[in-house]
Amino acid sequence: MPIKGQKNAQKTQKSDSPVQQANEGAMLTADASEANQASVSSELVSHPDVMSAIKSMQTDFASRFDSLLNAIRGVQNEIQLIATRVSQTEDRIGNNEDDIATLKKDNCTLKGELEALTRKVDDLENRSRRSNLRLVGLPEKAEGRDMCSFLVKWIPEVLGTVSFPGPLIIERAHRIGRPPEADSAATGPAPRPRAVVMKFLNYADKTRVMRAAREMGTVLYEGKKVMFFPDISSELLKQRKTYDPVKKLLASFSIPDLRFGIIHPAKLLVTHKGKRHVFDNASQANVFAQQFKEEGGYP
């Protein structure tokens, strides 16, 4: 008869036998797998073509990987170079913007100075011509050989000696431009005679001539109309010409006591019934002329 402790040990051995069997089976499976891998490895090692292909793949992969790394390094270098150049470009653009701002400021200053100097030069030019008169319409060769002697004698005769208490003194006088006969290609009607510019020694004599010519209205030389004008610069002449439309409009009113004219340097003076009005630009004068027309007198 078995002992009680032995029976319990036998029961324990019987109860543990399935687990042990499973572990033993797993160990056997692992051993079998390792054995299979070892056998496969031994077979691969023993096959020279397979090993050669593997080595070739490894070499090809290594070369491609190296080329990829080199390409990445090249891209990185180019990116760094581009970043450096972009930074330099930004600095240069910033410097250029600062220089442009400075140049714009200087340009505005120089422009203002140039305009001021231009006005001064034009004013000086017109001041140097204050004693000059321009005679338009005098036929060619009417003066003979001495223009000054002709004008000193002819002007008092045609304008009246009463306006000239003393003899006129003309420093110099000459025609402007090329003689008409110098242009051999000119055809058709006779060309207009060249204008005559004369310089008086005294400004008062020039004023007397202008006043006498204005009072006479129409001045003739051998039946041909001649006109006296102040000698001014081309820039001032342009400014005065801006009043021409207004002057034509005022002249169309046909009002006997309406007087208008240009005063120095380029202002329009309108006089009506003893009232005077001076305009600094043509737009103001045009507004005044329209109101004058509508209201029939000073607005």
- Report the CATH number that the domain containing residue 250 is assigned in CATH: 3.30.250.20
Residues 174, 143 within the same domain: yes
102: in domain: no
215-250 burial by CB neighbour count: b if 16+ within 10 A, else e? eeeebeeeeeebebebbbbebbeebbeebeebbeeb
Distance from first CA to last CA of the chain, Å, rounded?
Answer: 156
The predicted model scores a pTM of: 0.58
Supply 3's token pair.
């002992």
Domain count, the chain: 2
Is residue 100 scored above 80 in pLDDT?
Answer: yes
Q: Give the pLDDT of residue 149.
A: 93
- Closest to 258 measured CA to CA, from 250, 268, 249, 248: 250
Query: Which amino acid belongs to residue 151?
Result: L
Q: Is residue 15 part of a domain?
A: no
Are both 250 and 272 inside the same structural domain? yes
State the average pLDDT over residues 159-170: 89
Residue 7: pLDDT band (50, 70, 90) is: very low
Do the domain assignments include residue 100?
no
Q: Is residue 160, in this structure, part of any structural domain at all?
A: yes
Residues 218 and 298 in one domain: no
pLDDT band at 10, cuts 50/70/90? very low
Give the residue-averaged pLDDT of 70-99: 91
Q: For residue 60, what pLDDT is reported?
A: 76
Please check whether residues 206 and 163 belong to one and the same domain. Answer: yes
* Residue 153 forms part of a structural domain: yes
Per-residue pLDDT at 121: 93
Instruction: Please indicate, yes or no, whether residues 251 and 223 belong to a single structural domain of this protein.
Output: no
CA dist 4 and 2 (Å) reads 6
Dihedral pair phi/psi, residue 179, rounded to 5°:
-65, 145
Residues 197 and 246 in one domain: no
Q: pLDDT per residue over 11-60, tens digit each?
A: 444 444 554 554 555 555 555 555 555 554 555 555 677 777 777 787 77
* φ, ψ at 166 (rounded to 5°): -125, 170
The mean pLDDT value for 63-76 works out to 85
Indicate which CATH number applies to the domain containing 138.
Answer: 3.30.70.1820
Is 214 a domain residue?
yes
Percent of the chain surpassing pLDDT 90 = 38
Q: Do 149 and 208 lie in a common domain?
A: yes
pLDDT of residue 4: 46
Asked, for residue 95, whether it belongs to a domain, the answer is: no
User: Measuring CA to CA, which residue among 212, 78, 111, 200 is closest to residue 156?
Assistant: 212
Residues 245 and 220 in one domain: no
Q: Are 198 and 170 a contacting pair, CB within 8 Å?
A: yes
Q: Which domain holds residue 219?
A: 130-181+192-231
Which of these ranges, 78-92, 114-128, 183-197, 233-247, has the smallest mean pLDDT? 183-197
Q: Has residue 85 been placed in a domain?
A: no
Task: Give the H/E segment covering residue 270.
Answer: strand 267-272
Tell whether 141 and 222 lie within a shared domain: yes
Residues 218 and 239 in one domain: no
* Sequence-separated (6 or more) residues with CB below 8 Å from residue 257: 272, 273
Whether 285 and 217 map to the same domain: the answer is no
Q: What are the distances in angstroms from CA 53 to CA 44, 47, 57, 64, 271?
A: 11, 11, 6, 16, 116
Residues 208 and 279 in one domain: no
